[in-house]
Amino acid sequence: MRASEALLWTFGTLSSFASAIAGTTLTDDDLRNIPSPGSDFDIKDGKLLAPILIPRVPGTPGQVKAQEHLVSFFKTNLPGWEQTWHNSTSRTPATGDAEVPFNNLIFRRDPPWARAGDVGRLTLVAHYDSKLTPEGFIGATDSAAPCAMLLHAARSLDAALQARWKAAEDAGEADTSLEPAAGLQILFLDGEEAFAQWTDDDSLYGARALAAHWEQDFHASMSTYRTSLSSISLFVLLDLLGAENPSIPSYFMTTHWAYRKMAVLEKRMRDLGLLEAKARRPFLPDADKDAARFRGGFGGTVQDDHVPFMQRGVEILHMIPSPFPHVWHTMDDDGEHLHLPTTRDWAKIVTAFAAEWLDLTGKLPPLAPAKEKRTKKEAAPAGERADL
């Protein structure tokens, strides 16, 4: 078999496994039941986004405030989720001999009957730190908004996950000997940004430490998954999201089928009138990308938090635009420069993707009627949560 034929065969084989791995296709009614974050993404007083729109440099009071916001959100709204810290320290080019703390936050929602080593987890990821320079840099797209998107996804999916697991228990299907259990894991990674200039040593501090740790974090013997690292079914990394008219390429051939599933969901939601942004083109334009266009079988890669995990064999879906937003690493990357319709749309698309992956068809609770509190100039986003 020639190399080109082998590449196409591999591409087709991977795509054929999609339905078996990633759950049942959501119905149109399911998509209508995906809530919008609505006013919770307000940049001044939104419950999810506003508290993160501050400088969050590792080891500073601003970062502690961001940590407190993330922890408080889960404790208050999602008490059934397991919370874990992964802590490390490192010297940086900007801090001399001082050890800077890096604190990764991990939140998990697993089926109640399953042991940790028998759960394969869809893993949604964003970094929550911000750059040291320029002084006062906020990083709204980089990555306060992606963090808020993950909070919204967790909140939107929790009731459906519980409903799915109760149905499995009632049907006598709560048995990992029949098939591995599926859970949801959200990572807020620290220390993505370089302190001086991006190098292999001055970047990805939290991701490098966590990937190395999980590679050696072994589960009990006879577990389905050998380590915490191997239990990641897909690592979905969100970065630089929230600017208008984004274009996200499909970076990796091995996960192009997953990219395509998200692209299909975007198109369906747009066709149903469930997205707000009047985009010039799809956010995910590479749905029909040919296998031969993936360079070396992996495509080009942007240096980001996925790299230490990818180097250890984890499958990656990298949601980062190309080109980067024009505000990238400038003081204009703040709340005022976010395009909120696009930001809210991303929250819904990511939530829909996770719902389909986790086989939540028919389990998403119907949305409550939107409250009529807006003026005529400010229409309510489709399907805004009305209970918070």
| DSSP of 30-41 | HHHTSPB-GGGG
> What is the C-alpha separation between 157 and 353, in angstroms, rounded?
11
- H or E element at residue 119: strand 119-127
**Of 110, 142, 192, 305, which residue is the catalytic one?**
192
3-state SS assignment for residue 241: coil
Hey, which bits of 47-112 come out as E strands? Answer: 82-90, 100-109
**Of 30, 142, 239, 333, which residue is the catalytic one?**
239
Please confirm whether the linkage preceding 101 is cis (ω < 30° from 0): no
Contact 373, 30 (CB under 8 A): no
Residue 197 CB coordination number (10 Å) = 9
pLDDT in tens, the chain (388 residues): 344 444 443 444 444 444 445 689 999 999 999 999 999 999 999 999 999 999 999 999 999 999 999 999 999 999 999 999 999 999 999 999 999 999 999 999 999 999 999 999 999 999 999 999 999 999 999 999 999 999 999 999 999 999 999 999 999 988 877 778 999 999 999 999 999 999 999 999 999 999 999 999 999 999 999 999 999 999 999 999 999 999 999 999 999 999 999 999 999 999 999 999 999 999 999 999 998 888 754 445 799 999 999 999 999 999 999 999 999 999 999 999 999 999 999 999 999 999 999 999 999 999 987 665 444 444 455 555 444 3
190 catalytically annotated: no
> What is the C-alpha separation between 319 and 296, in angstroms, rounded?
20
Contact 99, 207 (CB under 8 A): no
- Taking the model in full, what pTM does it have? 0.91
> What is the C-alpha separation between 313 and 232, in angstroms, rounded?
10
288 catalytically annotated: no
Contact 265, 356 (CB under 8 A): yes
Report the half-sphere exposure of 278 (CA within 13 A, side-chain side). 0
Strand 316-319: give its sheet, edge to edge. 82-90, 100-109, 181-189, 119-127, 232-238, 316-319
